[in-house]
């Protein structure tokens, strides 16, 4: 009965003859508080807004309008949330810059929810311009991370691409005849040495300027993070965790750039390992060895960066980094398995020579890929954290050896890599 009675008294005070009386002000705030306590969030927001706009000088007005923004967002009333944000900045931007920064930043979640990427970028750029280093340290870092994440996505003509990589993928799901390699003298009309279950990847060029801008934001995240020094000025454990998450995401994105550069190194064309053609065979061996040297050098460099991602000890990105390490090796092996059999090789024995040379190099690399995916699954189990990246590792192991690595659920099977959206750090909405 107490809350209902309180509402009646407050409502009476609100329409009373002395609305500016100190008790009337308190009563008006209590209306919102009662509705809040009863979980009538829309009505609570109405009265919080009414109180804050009528009495902007009151101490509780800051809390009232900040809470109204939070409720409007939760209710999906985006326009009202944005309007409240503008009022908050207008009334309290100069007096309470830290609180204003948090409210302003939180509006970005609306644009992200609605996938209004252009508005999200504009909003985060405006946040950085208005507040930047003057606002909370955690939000300065999160704004840069969000700008990097959004621009990196925008730089790819395919949007999310495949697992965030700007590529196209062709392959057949493993199982039955699809997983069998053609044996000696059975190459026939096959266009590649390996089975159709091996991934054939085509790189799609990113918009250079947008991608470069994205990477600048990621670099700034890590510079602001300062190997963890930024955490010293952040009191909340949740906010510290958000910052570490953003730093891990930024390092992962830097590894992604190296990953795509690695994928872009093309397999040499026109190779012929027929020893009877000494000059051609020597040239082919030289080109093939140079390709493998360059490819392995880039693989090691890329692997190292993904390993650094794991050191941030963020479950999501640790599993993502482990998954990508497996993929780096798998993609190298797949490029060998899916290399086009040159048209100049007419006889099956010539094709066998060519394919044997590729397979000798691909098999140990594929074994490393398997180790990487097993490590990924082990890390997922260890952390009790299962996401799109752990699912990817499960599917990739099944693709390599269906009988040894059956899928946990056939309902989760995907015919290729698992399409994944970039994960984002939680938006700060705590206005305390």
Q: What structural domains does the chain harbor?
A: 2-95 (1.25.40.10), 159-207+255-412 (no CATH)
Beta carbons within 8 Å of 207's beta carbon, 6+ residues apart: 154, 155, 156, 157
Q: Determine contact, residues 295/333, Cβ cutoff 8 Å.
A: no
Let me know if 109 is exposed, middle or buried by CB neighbors in 10 A (0-12, 13-18, 19+): buried
Closest CA to 136 of 100, 98, 107: 98
- What are the tens digits of pLDDT across the range 245-256? 999 999 999 999
Specify the pTM: 0.83
- What are the tens digits of pLDDT across the range 389-423? 999 999 999 999 988 898 875 444 444 444 333 34
Q: How far apart are CA 254 and CA 264, in angstroms?
A: 16
Beta carbons within 8 Å of 367's beta carbon, 6+ residues apart: none
The pLDDT of residue 183 is: 57
What's the whole-number average pLDDT of the chain? 86
| HSE value, Cβ hemisphere, 13 Å, CA-based, for 417 | 28
pLDDT reading at 2 higher than 60 = no
Q: How far apart are CA 330 and CA 362, in angstroms?
A: 9
The DSSP string of 319-375 is HHHHHHHHHHHHHHHHHHHTPBPPTT--SHHHHHHHHHHHHHHHHHHHHHHHHHHHH
Q: Give φ, ψ of 219 to 5 degrees.
A: -65, -35
- What are the tens digits of pLDDT across the range 335-384? 999 998 988 888 888 889 899 999 999 999 999 999 999 999 998 998 88
Q: Determine contact, residues 88/69, Cβ cutoff 8 Å.
A: yes
The pLDDT of residue 409 is: 57
Q: Give φ, ψ of 116 to 5 degrees.
A: -95, 75
Task: Give residue for tokens 């891990």.
Answer: 248
Higher per-residue pLDDT: 191 or 149: 149
Confidence of residue 94 (pLDDT cuts 50, 70, 90): confident
Share of the chain above pLDDT 70, in %: 85
Confidence of residue 234 (pLDDT cuts 50, 70, 90): very high
pLDDT, average across residues 23-33: 80
Q: How far apart are CA 44 and CA 213, in angstroms?
A: 42
pLDDT, average across residues 185-194: 69
**Least confident interval from 14-18, 75-79, 323-327, 347-351:** 14-18
pLDDT, average across residues 292-311: 96
Q: Which helix (H) or strand (E) holds 170?
A: strand 167-170
Q: How far apart are CA 263 and CA 299, in angstroms?
A: 9
How crowded is residue 198: how many other Cβ atoms within 10 Å of its Cβ?
Answer: 27
pLDDT reading at 5 higher than 50 = no
Beta carbons within 8 Å of 203's beta carbon, 6+ residues apart: 166, 167, 260, 263, 264
């Amino acid at each position: 009965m107490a809350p209902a009675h309180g509402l009646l008294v407050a409502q009476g005070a609100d329409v009373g003859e002395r609305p500016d009386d100190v008790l009337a002000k308190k009563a008006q705030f209590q209306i919102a508080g009662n509705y809040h306590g009863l979980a009538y969030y829309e009505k609570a927001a109405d009265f919080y807004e009414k109180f804050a706009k009528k009495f902007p000088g009151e101490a509780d007005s800051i809390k009232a309008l900040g809470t109204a923004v939070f409720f409007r967002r939760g209710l999906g009333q985006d326009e009202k949330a944005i309007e409240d944000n503008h009022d908050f900045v207008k009334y309290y931007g100069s007096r309470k810059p830290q609180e204003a920064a948090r409210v302003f930043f939180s509006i970005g979640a609306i644009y992200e929810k609605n996938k209004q990427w252009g508005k999200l970028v504009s909003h985060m750029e405006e946040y950085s311009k208005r507040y930047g280093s003057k606002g909370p340290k955690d939000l300065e870092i999160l704004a840069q991370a969000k700008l990097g994440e959004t621009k990196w996505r925008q730089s790819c003509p395919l949007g999310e691409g495949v697992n965030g990589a700007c590529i196209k993928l062709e392959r057949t799901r493993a199982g039955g005849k699809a997983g069998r390699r053609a044996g000696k003298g059975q190459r026939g009309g096959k266009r590649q040495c390996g089975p159709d279950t091996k991934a054939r990847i085509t790189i799609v060029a990113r918009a250079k300027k947008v991608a470069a801008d994205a990477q600048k934001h990621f670099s700034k995240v890590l510079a602001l993070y300062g190997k963890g020094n930024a955490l010293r000025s952040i009191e909340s454990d949740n906010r510290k965790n958000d910052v570490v998450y953003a730093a891990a995401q930024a390092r992962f994105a830097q590894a992604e750039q190296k990953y795509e550069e690695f994928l872009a190194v093309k397999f040499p064309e026109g190779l012929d390992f027929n020893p009877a053609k000494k000059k051609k065979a020597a040239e082919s061996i030289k080109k093939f060895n140079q390709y493998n040297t360059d490819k392995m050098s880039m693989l090691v460099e890329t692997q190292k960066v993904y390993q650094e991602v794991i050191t941030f000890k963020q479950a999501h990105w640790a599993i993502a980094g482990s998954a990508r390490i497996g993929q780096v090796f798998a993609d190298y092996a797949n490029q060998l398995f899916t290399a086009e059999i040159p048209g100049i090789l007419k006889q099956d024995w010539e094709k066998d020579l060519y394919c044997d040379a590729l397979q000798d190099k691909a098999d140990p690399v594929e074994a490393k890929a398997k180790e990487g995916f097993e490590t990924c699954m082990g890390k997922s189990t260890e952390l009790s954290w299962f996401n799109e990246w752990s699912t990817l590792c499960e599917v990739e192991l099944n693709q390599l050896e269906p009988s040894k690595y059956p899928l946990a659920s056939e309902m989760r099977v995907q015919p290729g890599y698992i399409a994944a959206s970039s994960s984002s750090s939680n938006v700060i909405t705590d206005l305390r």
